[in-house]
Structure 1
Amino acid sequence: MTTLCRTCFRVIPEKTTPDGEPVRLHRCPACRSPRLVRHPELLDLSIAHMDCDAFYAAVEKRDNPELLSKPVIMAYDAPRSVVSTCCYIARMSGVRSAMPLYKAKKLCPDGVIVTPRMAVYSEVSKAIHTLFQKLTPSIEPLSLDEAYLDLSGTEKLHGRSPAQSMMWLAAEIRKTIGITVSVGLSYNKYLAKLASDLDKPDGFAVIGRQEAVKFLAPRPVSDIWGVGKALNQKLARDGISTIGQLQHREERDLVARYGQMGSQLFHLSRGQDKRRVTPRQKAKSISAETTFATDTSDMDILLARLWPLCEKVSARLKASDKAGSTITLKLKTGDFKTLTRSHTLPRPTQLAETLYQLVKPVLEKEAVNKKFRLIGIGVSSFGKREDADAPDLLDRDSGKRKTIESAIDQVRQKFGTEAIGKGRSLPRKK
């Protein structure tokens, strides 16, 4: 058995009783910290998954200490809005991501609704990724707040095991960035990600080779990567609710019943995952979307959700120093049919107002006699940043739009996202 201290990163020698039984320590002998991790394979595992704890809410609490003890709900406070994420205090009341905001308010009436500041979160994410680079080049980001890291072969470089490096990373993020993260360590991506959910927040969990099959057996099949709501229901109809039940099935039988996914069910249920940690290529598009609590054809509701999506995409473009010329509207109908409509501008843009004015007439045309459950907007075909939103002699308002939006951005950077906004961002009264 190996024991590591999460505070000073030391390997703690095992002690035994006169009878040869291991003595379980409760504090590090060197620094007296109780933050100990024990596992027989702790020094042999090198695939990690790191997940920031309630990322958006954590950044808001860091920047505004008055929120520290309050239930924070991240959402655009508008009709039919949904929760982006929430802090752990709000989760105690039953609030969850993707929940309709009106429901979250009922569950947590004392919740503080905070509008997401995507540009700020993007900068924090960049700072975290800079720390990643100090450990390994094998980084696979999944989103702003989570990533896989492969630390194989880094022991000689850093003079410490991958487990110790991840403990250093978590401590460095807490010290320099001011938020906490949870780490999962294993021998493949599937189990590393599963482990990072076991000990939240500010956790460090390990799943080793020897225990994997036994550990997985009692867990629900929904824990398997790729098992969504529909497949989960199909497995339930077939009498399969736990991963252990899959462990007793032959691969050919699972493939015959569930197609290609059957092979994935067979291998993952046994802790087998051949996927490598693959550094992600540069993003080819930036997008945002939202799902309505109920299908709607109400144009006021659709437009009320379109504008914050345009602002969100615009903020991400500006934060990543990108500009794009192809604008895509995405709509999903009540019967799950997806419609996309794209338009390419002569010059790339970063402006929320340009996105909104371009997409609005397209939405008004498509929404006739149709109800939608999802709306989204995306920008692609990235061009040179310096070419973005250049003055257009044929569009006299182009320069005005850029000036107004730049002024709004400056005010928000100084006083916060809610300090200023356009009239269309206000809740509509019926």
Structure 2
Amino acid sequence: MTTALDCVCRDCAAAIPGEVTRCPKCGSRRLFRHAELHRLSIGHIDCDSFYATVEKRDRPELASRPVIVGGDDHRGVVAACCYVARISGVRSAMTIREALDRCPDATIIRPDIAKYRQVGHQARAIMEAFTPLVEPISIDEAYLDLAGVEERLSISPAQALVEIVRRFERELRITASIGLSHNKLLAKIASDLDKPRGFSALGRAEAAAFLAPRRVTILWGVGPALERKLFADGITRVGDLQDKDEHWLVKRYGAMGRVLFNYARGEDRRRVSPESVSKSISSEETFDWDVTTLPALAQELRPLAEKVSRRMEREGLLGRSVVLKLKTRDFQQLTRSRRIEPTRSAEAILAAGMALLEREADGRAFRLIGIGCTDLTDPETAPDPELDLFG
């Protein structure tokens, strides 16, 4: 017996009964069907090539051309690129030199973070018109809990997501892809399946079977270090994790083992949290030429520390660790950290950064320096230093 598929029009957001090939309301063929479509309520919206899309919006003459957003010289890196450039093999974090080798006709545009942030705030306001439960992950993506939208607006979560993206296109002239599921893990995975201007859903019934043949890196939290450890244990696919019992995974990987056990089965209990705070705040600079001396490196570090301090002031946060980042001429990346009393002071951040820098500035040539604060906290919940001192 086949399961009836719920359907939504991706051009007008109409909920459509029956097995039609065109939307009876607007005539569109862009219909999306899924057995659990109108019973799933956690969404993930990811703007498509956000920086590049905003730049193309503001410079229509570049609409059909490859666009790279990043450093304007060969020592810079790609912050973002449009899909036309991706066809030539350009990717984020690639050097501008390599990107131009692959795509010589590309137009290079320096990032305008203030402009992107403004568009990001406008996008968030559109999302919050449908639900107060919006959790931004970055400037161009967010989770949404749309469980109450049917009662408030008489539309399903799937329809709400389509309507949000329609407003992005109409009001902001940007595009986005949609992922829909019953939890954050699967919604995020779904949003990556059909880009750009995509819509994908993963339901409860299909989750484990869908995940089984995928590489373990599809799971949230599996970065390069954990991937290497899993590979060393013969675990390359999610199905390999599904074959392990929870006790073995916890014994081998600690608390992350329990997370892996649940994620491999498509289970995720994390809630959509609108009050999610930044995990770190940082700033970095790629040099026009290699820098080798401590005074020259220190001169570059001060304005970066001041920039981090200003952002922490805006977000009302204090940092309890300072992290120094350096990249050598041959692209070896070094990160060093130091625990500090909770602060947002530029001088305190710089002092901790200098203490770390003095240990590394031994004559090596560096092409990048960065500094940031991690272990962020709200001032109202930060421990009082005097209480710590006197117990």
TM-score computed with the length of structure 1 as normaliser: 0.73
Give the counterpart of 1:8 among 1, 4, 12.
Answer: 12
CA contact (8 A) 1:79 1:304 kept: no
Can you give the 5+ residue segments of structure 2 that lack an aligned partner in the other structure? Answer: 380-391
Classify 1:296/1:262 alpha carbon distance in 2 versus 1 (closer, same or farther; 3 Å): farther
Query: Hey, what's the Cα distance between the residues in 2 that align with 1:342 and 1:255?
Result: 32
Alignment pair present for 1:330 and 2:324: yes
Change (3 A) 1:335 1:112: closer
CA–CA distance in 2 between the matches of 1:278 and 1:249?
Answer: 31
Q: Is the partner of 1:30 in helix, strand or coil?
A: coil
Structure 2 match to 1:417: none
Contact in 2 for aligned 1:48/1:186 (Cα 8 Å): yes
- Determine the C-alpha separation between the residues in 1 that align with 2:279 and 2:215: 35
Residue 150 of structure 1 is matched in structure 2 by 145
Task: Quote the residue 1:203 is aligned against.
Answer: 198
Q: Provide closer, same or farther for how the CA distance between residues 378 and 261 of structure 1 changes in structure 2, counting only shifts above 3 A.
A: closer
RMSD, matched Cα: 3.8
Match of 1:61 among 51, 56, 59: 56
SS in 2 for 1:90: helix
**1:331–1:101 Cα change, 3 Å:** same
Deviates more, 1:274-283 or 1:166-175: 274-283
Match of 1:127 in 2: 122
TM-score in terms of structure 2 length: 0.80
Q: Deviations over 1:175-220 (max 9, x none)?
A: 0000001110000000000000001111111000011011111111
SS of the residue aligned with 1:84?
strand
> Which has the larger Rg?
1
Name which of 369, 373, 381 aligns with 1:375. 369
Q: For the structure 1 residues 381 and 253, does the alpha-carbon distance in structure 2 shift closer, same or farther, using more than 3 Å as the test? A: closer
Partner of 1:137: 132
Question: Which amino acid is the alignment partner of residue 369 of structure 1?
Answer: D
CA contact (8 A) 1:286 1:316 kept: yes
The whole-number CA distance in structure 2 between the counterparts of 1:226 and 1:284 is 14
Query: Does structure 2 conserve the Cα–Cα contact (< 8 Å) formed by 1:284 and 1:381?
Result: no
Q: CA deviation at 1:289?
A: 3.4
Alpha-carbon shift at residue 47 of structure 1 (Å): 0.4
Q: Give yes or no for contact 2:168–2:175 (8 Å, CA) kept in 1.
A: yes
Q: Note the C-alpha offset of 1:163.
A: 0.6
Letter in 2 for 1:9: A
Structure 1 equivalent of residue 113 of structure 2? 118
Instruction: Note the alpha carbon deviations across 1:321-367, whole angstroms, 9 max, x for none.
Output: 9899999672358684514598999x989xxxx99x99998898565
Q: Is 1:87–2:82 an aligned residue pair?
A: yes
Specify the code of the residue in structure 2 equivalent to 1:173.
F
CA deviations 1:273-294 (Å, max 9, x no partner) are 01001112565974323689xx
The structure 2 residue matched to 1:219, chosen from 214, 221, 244, is 214
Corresponding position of 1:393: none
- Seen in structure 2, the aligned counterparts of structure 1 residues 269 and 348 have a Cα distance that, compared at 3 Å, is closer
Match of 2:384 in 1: none
Q: Tell me, in whole angstroms, the C-alpha distance in 2 between the residues paired with 1:269 and 1:75.
A: 36
Distance of aligned partners of 1:193 and 1:283 in 2 relative to their CA distance in 1, 3 Å threshold: closer
Q: Distance in 2 between matches of 1:171 and 1:37?
A: 15
Residue 230 of structure 1 is matched in structure 2 by 225
Unaligned runs of 5+ in 1: 16-24, 384-430
Give the 3 Å change call, closer, same or farther, for CA 170–60 of structure 1 in structure 2: same
2:210 maps to a residue whose letter is F
- Contact 1:86–1:97 at 8 Å: present in 2 too? yes
Q: 2:165 is matched with which residue?
A: 170
Q: Indicate conservation of the 8 Å contact 1:81/1:305, yes or no.
A: no
Q: Are 1:289 and 1:377, in contact at CA under 8 Å, matched by a contact in 2?
A: yes
